Amino acid sequence: MHWEGEKRRKLEELERAIERGEVDETAIPVLETINSFKEYCTTSSCSGRVVVLHEPEVGDKIGSEFVAKWHEPPEPEEVREAVLKAPEEGITWVKAQPPLFHVMCRDLEAAVRLRNIASEAGFKASSIRSVKSSKVIVEILGGERMDVPVKVNGELTLREEAWDSVVALCTDILRSGHERLSRLVEALKGLSR
């Protein structure tokens, strides 16, 4: 498909997702900024999140389920309540995940420029994920994350007084990612279109 048609189709999908409330609010200014360039088009996004994830066994991506997720800092009691609701068998995790954006780029030169800007804004784990004749995909990815197993086969692994500290660390990771997104938007706004 021709670049302009592909970009138009992706942006229409994004608009519908925003209308349905499927896009986290913090991601929207980043999406708008990236998509304002003729050579870029976002294909997926997350501004960072804290999740409670249950896996029947380690690494079972198919059987895993999100018990709860937040794109803004949660309260420790909210996280603990979600963990208590998770199934007893298997492993329940509290995870702080960094921002993640996939961007379709018109060509390799545009992709390299975007990857470099993202890296300079603090997204050191960013990379060019795919190169095809019609498009190149850049992954903008933060490097800070945390995965804590908090319930294993029904047994809580954290002491009562540790919940506040774990959620505070999750909040720090989330806020750090949001600050980097602000730097990314400012760096992109400084480019000529």
pLDDT in tens, 54-66: 999 888 889 999 9
What phi and psi values does residue 180 have, to the nearest 5 degrees?
-65, -35
pTM for the complete prediction?
Answer: 0.90
pLDDT in tens, 104-156: 999 999 999 999 999 999 999 999 999 987 789 999 999 999 999 999 999 99
| Strands 127-131 and 136-141, bridge-based pairing | antiparallel
Which range (1-10, 98-107, 123-132) has the least confidence?
1-10
Are 174 and 180 in contact by the 8 Å Cβ rule? The answer is no
Mean pLDDT across the chain, nearest whole number?
Answer: 93
Are 79 and 163 in contact by the 8 Å Cβ rule? The answer is yes
Q: How far apart are the C-alpha atoms of 172 and 96, rounded to whole Å?
A: 9
Instruction: Kindly provide the residue ranges of all beta strands, DSSP E only, lying in the chain, ordered along the sequence.
Output: 40-46, 49-55, 65-70, 91-97, 100-105, 127-131, 136-141, 146-152, 155-156
Of 191, 27, 176, 7, give the one whose Cα is nearest residue 100. 27
